[in-house]
Amino acid sequence: MAPGHYFWAIFYFACLCSASLANNAKVNFREKEKKILDQILGAGKYDARIRPSGINGTDGPAVVRVNIFVRSISKIDDVTMEYSVQLTFREQWLDERLKFDDIGGRLKYLTLTEANRVWMPDLFFSNEKEGHFHNIIMPNVYIRIFPYGSVLYSIRISLTLACPMNLKLYPLDRQVCSLRMASYGWTTADLVFLWKEGDPVQVVKNLHLPRFTLEKFLTDYCNSKTNTGEYSCLKVDLLFKREFSYYLIQIYIPCCMLVIVSWVSFWLDQGAVPARVSLGVTTLLTMATQTSGINASLPPVSYTKAIDVWTGVCLTFVFGALLEFALVNYASRSADRAADIQRENMKKKRREMEQVSLDAASDLLDTDSNATFAMKPLVRHPGDPMAMEKLRQCEVHMQPPKRPNCCRTWWSRFPTRQCSRSKRIDVISRITFPLVFALFNLVYWSTYLFREEEED
């Protein structure tokens, strides 16, 4: 072959290669996607009403694997016993009717935004109260169809879910809130939900909850049987621990302070009636307001909560301090009446003694004709009170001294006379009230903290 012919043959081959490369470069894969979607989802080729076949094309149930991503938990309400969560929900299943040619691996998947174009599992959230999709700025949903027929459905939703709570240990409690997902119409003979292998539940790292901490979460199955059949069900148990520091600052410390302030009346003078009454009534009303505010933030349950025990005992201590002053005031008035009676008796005795002295003086006068005064010895009668007092003082001075006793010395500051009984009540209250309150704190915290550890 002549050299010129070689040149033209090489030139022709180069032109063919360049044309082929140009054609490949001009391939529009979006157009390919449209053709494939029209091919697999065209009229008369795919029916979204028919569920996919089972594993390996058998007539068994369709298997749907589920995983969720918890984006945020915005509210846990104790009154309505519910919580709000925002999550990305994903389902994946195999539908062999949707297989397509991936053009040598260049088409990884097809994307749809209309869920009604393909068959969808009839999953619903069984403990849902409210829920909505997110449509800003476009609906947050997509469907991916892979070349081997696998379908991935992903959507972002916000839910308000019921969470039955046991508040017996409130606010030292832990609550378990569940997220339940089940099939509404397909029984386990047609549809089975399974958790995705690996990591079926994911939680955002910087999850922040007001007054709660998410300790852990557990995945499980909760298939239910009814008179229409057995239905597949999945659940996630979220374990929340209540933050106690908030309640310590807002409830426990203020209640302790109110109880201690009510004890100030024990150190006030028993005659300061306005001060002691105003202090007792003010602390009682403040404690009652605190208790009503706590109960307003909780549901009216039939059992006794830990916070009810605390506020009830604190209210009892404050009320007891007010009753203590009433008792002191009554004892003081009784002492005043006894003192008045004693003063009247002393006055009566003094008048009798003056009368006796006058009679004795008249006996000393001599009424004979010489008008001379005859002195008679002044004799004390056996029942004379002044003589008895002198005799008693002599007996006291003659008794041997006794050893001092600290408790008896402290107790002798307030003798057993009626007028000192009110002071004695105040002194006893200064010691009794703090000791009983400290004992209550010991029993309360040891009991409820121990019960909390038992529940853990």
CA–CA distance, 387 with 406 (Å, rounded to integer) = 34
| pLDDT digits 0-9 by tens, 154-213 | 999 999 999 999 999 999 999 999 999 999 999 999 999 999 998 899 999 888 888 899
Does residue 145 contact residue 120 with C-beta atoms inside 8 Å?
A: no
Cα–chain-centroid distance for residue 403?
58
**CA 98 vs CA 3, 22, 143, 147, 334: distances in Å:** 56, 31, 12, 8, 99
**Average pLDDT taken over every residue of the chain:** 81
Residue 453's identity, in one-letter code, is E
Q: Which residues of 276-303 are buried (b: 16+ CB within 10 A; e: fewer)?
A: beebbeebbebbeebbeebeeebeeeee
User: Half-sphere exposure (CA, 13 Å, Cβ side) for 253?
Assistant: 7
What's the pLDDT score for residue 452?
Answer: 64
pTM comes to 0.71
With cut-offs at 50, 70 and 90, classify the pLDDT of residue 332: confident
What's the pLDDT score for residue 13?
Answer: 56
| pLDDT digits 0-9 by tens, 19-72 | 454 444 455 667 777 888 888 887 778 888 889 988 877 788 999 999 999 999
CA–CA distance, 73 with 212 (Å, rounded to integer) = 10
Q: Which residues of 155-188 are buried (b: 16+ CB within 10 A; e: fewer)?
A: bbbbbbbbbebebbbbbbbbbebbbbbbbeebbb
**Cα four-point dihedral sign 217, 218, 219, 221:** negative
Provide the token pair at 37. Answer: 């979607």
